[in-house]
């Protein structure tokens, strides 16, 4: 089998159906399976998915919400394809994007994983998914508009802001709303790190592949459309915020524990580490 398409759903029944329909309609000239993981949805997703797609999908029904990493890992370790694509339920394709990604991996043997250019379906603009490696200071910049203005050049370097995503490029970190990797690599690194639930998950994954000597590529020729926030919007905003803070703390703690420090961000990293633990508290106070 060429490809396993893994789709994660949590209370996004309508979006998940559109996502699956787009995959089944537009994916051609590949032997593939579609694995759908439902993370204990309460909106009738499971019944709707069974009714609409039947045996055209492999449906995994989790009894609890295993979040982004756990849900996708359930599919990753069941996947039988040579390549595995991770697809959020709030994304969809309008052409044979998955074949384009498979073809690239087939002809670029040092490429371990690729991402599609992801388009915000509300604005029709490319989403700036790819980044350079994360440092504590860069993490702080992500959460502060004021600091981004002050340290504009560092933020631009981190986020590749001079690049419109309309060309192929090797990158340091892939976005994971619509990405594909070699299945044996996914299994070799143990899938996604389940110490993280929803956020920062792309950084340890990308780092693990690059440490093994593989390249990561953004592909402008593969296009996916993303309804931004449709999945997280189904979860209490306070819970999402708490998970984001916790995942950030865990990510940097894991790097230290595993003796794999985050790449140096220069003289500002010490400042970033000191400020970061107080930053979200300050956000709660500010209007």
State the pLDDT at residue 231: 56
Q: What is the pTM of this model?
A: 0.89
Sign of the CA dihedral with 159 first, then 160, 162, and 165 last: negative
State the pLDDT at residue 234: 65
DSSP result, 7-69: EEESS-HHHHHHHHHHHHHH--SS-EEEEEEEES-SSSHHHHHHHHHGGGSEEEEESS--HHH
DSSP result, the chain: --EEEEEEESS-HHHHHHHHHHHHHH--SS-EEEEEEEES-SSSHHHHHHHHHGGGSEEEEESS--HHHHHHHHHHTT--SSEEEEEETTEE-SS-HHHHHHHHHHH-TTEEEEEEEEEETTT--B----B----HHHHHHHT-HHHHHHTHHHHHHHHTTT--S-S-EEESB--SSEEEEEHHHHHHTTSS-TTSSSSSTHHHHHHHHHHTT-EEEEEEEEEEEE-TTTTGGGS-HHHHHHHHHHHHHHHHHHHHHTT-PPPP-GGGHHHHHHHHHHHHHHHHH--
State the pLDDT at residue 11: 95
State the pLDDT at residue 275: 53
pLDDT along the chain (287 residues), means of 10: 97 96 98 98 96 98 97 98 97 97 98 97 92 92 93 96 97 96 98 96 96 97 84 73 92 76 51 52 44
State the pLDDT at residue 257: 75
State the pLDDT at residue 287: 39
């Amino acid at each position: 089998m060429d490809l396993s398409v893994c789709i994660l759903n949590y209370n996004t029944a309508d979006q998940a159906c559109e996502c699956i329909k787009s995959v089944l309609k537009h994916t051609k000239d590949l032997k593939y399976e579609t694995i759908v993981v439902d993370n204990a949805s309460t909106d009738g997703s499971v019944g709707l998915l069974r009714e609409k797609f039947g045996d055209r999908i492999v449906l995994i029904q989790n009894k609890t919400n295993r979040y982004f990493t756990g849900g996708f890992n359930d599919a990753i370790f069941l996947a039988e394809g040579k390549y595995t694509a991770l697809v959020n339920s709030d994304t969809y394709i309008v052409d044979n994007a998955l074949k384009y990604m498979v073809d690239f991996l087939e002809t670029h043997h040092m490429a371990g994983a690729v991402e599609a250019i992801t388009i915000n379906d509300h604005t029709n603009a490319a989403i700036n998914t790819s980044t350079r490696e994360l440092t504590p200071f860069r993490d702080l910049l992500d959460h502060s508009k004021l600091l981004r203005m002050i340290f504009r050049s560092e933020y631009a370097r981190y986020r590749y802001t001079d690049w419109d995503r309309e060309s192929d490029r090797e990158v340091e970190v892939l976005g994971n709303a619509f990405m594909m990797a070699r299945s044996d690599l996914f299994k070799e690194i143990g899938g996604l790190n389940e110490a993280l639930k929803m956020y920062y998950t792309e950084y340890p994954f990308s780092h693990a592949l690059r440490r093994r000597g593989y390249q990561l590529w953004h592909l402008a020729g593969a296009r996916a459309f993303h309804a931004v926030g449709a999945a997280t919007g189904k979860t209490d905003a306070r819970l999402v915020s708490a998970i984001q803070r916790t995942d950030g703390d865990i990510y940097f703690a894991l790097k230290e524990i595993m003796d794999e420090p985050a790449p140096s961000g220069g003289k500002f990293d010490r400042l970033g580490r000191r400020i970061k633990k107080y930053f979200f508290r300050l956000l709660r106070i500010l209007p």
